[in-house]
Amino acid sequence: MTLDGFIAGVHGEYDWIVMDPAIDFAALYKTFDTVIMGRKTYDAVLAQGGDGRMPGLDVIVFSRTLPAAHHPGLAIVHDDPGRVVAALKDKPGRDIWLFGGGVLFRLLLDARLVDAVEVSVMPVLLGSGIPLLPPGPSSKLVLSDHRVLPKSGIVTLSYSVPGGVPAAPIAYVRKPAARKKRR
């Protein structure tokens, strides 16, 4: 998200996201077996030329307007997200990644189905856009881990939601190489 709390621009754009070579996306993807997203996030992925699928991951798109569909690695479902996510959490497997959708995030947080919140804060101020979380009840979080990426200015924060499964340490951000001493 941006420093001022937005996950996308006013029109859903995310071209402001800063990349950093210290982020190991392959390691990140290995921590999950399922990705969930809302329809607006799915639309943004399609607009960027993707098809919504992520190699090695099952992707579930929650939508009341798109036709229900099941393709290899991708399902568009109309079912209640709370019920679907609760059932997924009861199954053995790796973590579930809420890839995008502030409205979906709010719904799952209010249903007490979110165990951890991990966000990378980009050194960008948009001034307006789509917020990380729509208005609703407050939630107390406990800082579990953090990483500062000096090259890009990104700060990655990991929080546990009290009553949920504790957040794992951030393992997909490579630590900076030790600097050699001058002689």
Q: Residue 144 — left, alpha, or beta (φ > 0 → left; ψ -120 to 50 → alpha)?
A: alpha
pLDDT for residue 34: 96
| Length of the chain (residues) | 183
CA dihedral 100, 101, 105, 107 (to 10 degrees): -150
pLDDT for residue 181: 54
Angle formed at CA 59 by CA 158 and CA 155, multiple of 5 degrees: 20
Mean pLDDT of the region 126-139: 95
Percent above pLDDT 70 for the chain = 95
pLDDT at 183 exceeding the cut of 60:
no
Which domains, from first to last, does the chain contain?
A: 6-160 (3.40.430.10)
114 vs 44, higher pLDDT: 114
pLDDT at 57 exceeding the cut of 60:
yes
